[in-house]
Amino acid sequence: MNPWMLLKAWYRQYTWPCVIFIALFSVALSLGVALLSQERAIKQSSANVSDQFDLIIGAPGSKIDLVLDIAFLQTGFLETVPTHVWHDLLDDERVKWFAPVVLGDGYAGSPIIGTTQPLLASIYGETENFPNIHSAFVGANVELKAGQIFQPQHGMLESSDEDEAEEHTHHVDYQVVRKLPITGTPWDNAILVPVEATWAVHGLGDGHAEDEHEGHEHGVHEGHEHEKHEGHEHEEHKGYGYEEHEEHDHEREGHNEVEHLGTFDEHDPLKPVSAFIVKPITIASAYGLRSDFSNNETQGVFPAEVMVTLYALMGDARALMSQITLICEALVMLSLVFGIAALFALFKREFAILRTIGATRSYLLLSVWMFVFSLMAVGLLVGMVLATLEVQWISYMLSNKVQFNIEATLGGKDWLFALAVLLVGSVLALLPALFVYRVSNEKLMQSI
Amino acid sequence: MLTLSNITVELDKQPILSLGDIALPYGQLNVLAGPSGAGKSTFLHTVSGQLKLTQGLVHWQGQSLFDLNESARSQWRSKNVGFIFQDFHLIPSLSALDNVILQHSFSHWRIPNELRQQALVLLKQFGVKDVHKNIGQFSRGEKQRIALARALSGSPAIILADEPTASLDKENAEFVIQQLKAQADLGKFVLAVSHDPLVIGQASQILYLERGVIQDESMDAA
């Protein structure tokens, strides 16, 4: 037996119901697939972000907050880390490199991060150091170009009120010297400045010992306010001539800060930072450091470990989400299948004719099953195409929202899910087929 | 020979057909007449094995039809019986050719070429020109010619026609009767349910059915 000829007739006869069936099925399927694919992509993308940081040392508190604030640059409130930690890290042989992270200021929605060169090298592969204390490197998504000058604002001001903005603005200038390469992480939205600058902007000085400045050639010191404060106790004004309401000369040719910025020793009066990003020499060193820095003053956190905890929580939700999605798909299919069954009930006479001219019950069963199943199979293919588009669109929207790159693609798991839906559908497709199969000849014959 | 023995058919426990012993031969036009609701169509569905008998026997050329299970009766019908209906009952979304050969897809994965060729010959013989046009584009007369081609496709030995001329003009009705007679002349079993005087006038044997019971039987009306 070959039901194709009959199927061809039904496709023509019920074109619109077929189109509606395929559309509903494919949309329901695509949403389910896109949802699961997106969840996986978020997990993978966030793991990619956190994997860049081996160990974060911050003040005691929520580990999740620390990871979100430092790795994902979410603007939360972090306690500062005591300054002696810096000295401790300087002296620790288990540390390959470390870099401070000072949060607090922002510009046009981008966080300004005070740090040192090793972090630039680690995240962006940037080999150069900040050329001077007024310099800023900006992430790929920051809407600032090389050469542009901007003034930082305290906190992440979102208001468009000019007076409010003015109130929160630090009247010091940063000049963009370089646009950093794309990383696909929230750090693409970051503005990076020398850690000394973030201290100085807040009137904490630059973190370098007095004699150190004298021993270095800082062109920026000369002719600036620094001389005026020499010998005074106002530490906040010492250093690089950072003073609010002051016009700066950005032409700093010949100065030699680059050798100095980010380089500290045990004599330097270091200032508080939000956290340290630490690259341990070995895995054993990492565990040792985490243990040693987990006390009542600090906490050491492996971001990957924190993410695993988060994923474990998400994992339960994911399993539930998968089941709910599958149930929703099944309900959609069930309603569609009943719609088809109702449609066939209207065409009882056609089945009566087919039975009269010799069609067996099994021929009709196969025909109806193949009809519904073929619609589902087409719906699956259309649904997967739709899912691909939806995934790209949702990824784009989410990436903009969370400020890091979420790259979702349909993989084997999504096709398996789709095939599982089709398998359930193939069973449900038996319902209208059995409905037609079970109708008695007596009832059918009454219709002709 | 079609032989019916002491047949009773019930629907919802109500007898709708009650027949004694009847024998109808091959090779002639047999007509079943009677008023609406008399059970004429039920008679056709019974002798073609579609309705279950409450009691009695149906024999075709000596073979007891209801000794076959339902699936086997369907296959027997597909192979041996050609049906013609008053309203043609063609599949509207198929072409004329596809309607004629559809029944062969019940038993074949690929319809044999000789059956396809035969269908084309029948359609041509009955004056159906564009065999690939959809049924909806044909006139009523043409539709009945296509239905006639479907009934004769595969050369079944039995032709059962239910009011085959009721919805046709005289010219088309005469054409259908002529074809039924021709099939009978070929030695086939032909039974037409009809109260059309044109059909009755050509009948070799007439059964008159009323309220499910044969009231009268006449021979050689033609």
DSSP for A189-256, written as a single string: G-EEEEHHHHHHHTTS--SS-HHHHHHS--TTTTTSTHHHHTTSS-GGG-SS---TT-------TT--
In chain B, positions 92-151, which contact chain A (CB-CB < 8 Å)?
92-94, 98, 101-103, 105-111, 150
| Number of DSSP helices (H) and strands (E) in chain B, helices first | 7, 11
First and final C-alpha spacing in chain A: 24
CA distance B215 to chain A (A): 24
pLDDT at A403: 67
Tell me the three state secondary structure of residue B4.
Answer: strand
- What pLDDT shows up at residue A237? 33
Say if the Cβ atoms of B71 and A358 lie within 8 Å: no
What residue in A sits closest to B150 (Cα-Cα)? A357
Tell me which chain A residue has its CA closest to the CA of residue B37: A446
Per-residue pLDDT of chain A (448 residues; tens, 9 = 90+): 889 999 999 999 889 989 998 998 898 888 888 888 888 888 888 888 888 889 999 999 889 889 988 988 886 678 889 888 988 998 899 999 999 999 888 888 889 999 999 999 988 988 888 888 889 999 998 989 989 999 888 765 555 566 666 666 766 889 999 899 988 888 898 999 998 888 887 766 666 666 544 444 433 333 333 333 333 333 333 233 344 444 444 444 444 555 577 677 666 667 788 999 999 999 999 999 999 999 999 999 999 888 888 777 776 777 777 777 778 778 887 887 788 777 777 778 888 899 999 899 999 999 999 999 999 999 999 999 999 999 888 888 887 776 677 778 888 888 888 888 889 889 988 988 888 888 877 777 776 6
Of B70, B75, B111, the CB nearest to A358: B75
The total of other beta-carbon atoms located within 10 Å of residue A315's CB is 12
pLDDT value, residue A208: 64
Q: How many CB atoms lie within 10 A of CB A410?
A: 18
Using an 8 Å CB-CB cutoff, list chain B residues near A6: 91, 102, 105
How far apart (Å, rounded) are the C-alpha atoms in residues A45 and A50?
9
Half-sphere exposure of A374 toward its Cβ, with a 13 Å CA cutoff?
14
Cα–Cα distance for residue pair A145/B91, rounded to 1 Å: 71
B35 by Cβ neighbours in 10 Å (0-12 / 13-18 / 19+) ranks as exposed
CA atoms within 13 A on the CB side of B219: 4
Contact check, Cβ <8 Å, A356/B77 = yes
**Closest partner residue to A9 among B81, B94, B108, by Cβ?**
B94
Question: For residue A76, what is the DSSP state?
Answer: -
Residues of B in contact with A4 (CB under 8 A): 105
B107 secondary structure, DSSP code = T
State the nearest Cα–Cα gap between A2 and chain B, in angstroms: 5
Q: A411: exposed, middle or buried (C-beta count within 10 Å: 0-12, 13-18, 19+)?
A: exposed
What is the model's pLDDT at position B195?
Answer: 84
Chain A residues with beta carbon closer than 8 angstroms to that of B112: none
Q: What's the pLDDT at A214?
A: 46
**Beta-sheet pairing, A135-138 with A191-194:** antiparallel
At residue A386, what are phi and psi to the nearest 5 degrees?
A: -60, -40
* Structure tokens given for A184: 């696909």
Cβ pair B106:A363 closer than 8 A? yes
Chain A interface residues facing chain B, Cβ-Cβ under 8 Å? 1-6, 8-10, 12-13, 349-350, 353, 355-363, 441-442, 445, 448
Query: Which top CATH class is B2-219?
Result: alpha beta
Q: How far apart are CA A96 and CA A129, in angstroms?
A: 18
In order, the DSSP letters of A158-197 are ----HHHHHHHB----EEEEEEPPP-SSGGGG-EEEEHHH
Min Cα separation B165/chain A (Å): 16
Identify the closest residue of chain B to A445 by CA–CA distance: B45
DSSP code of residue B95: B
With a cut of 50, list the residues of chain B below it in pLDDT: 221
Domain boundaries, chain A: 4-47+308-445, 55-301
- pLDDT at position A210: 62
pLDDT for the residue numbered A245: 41
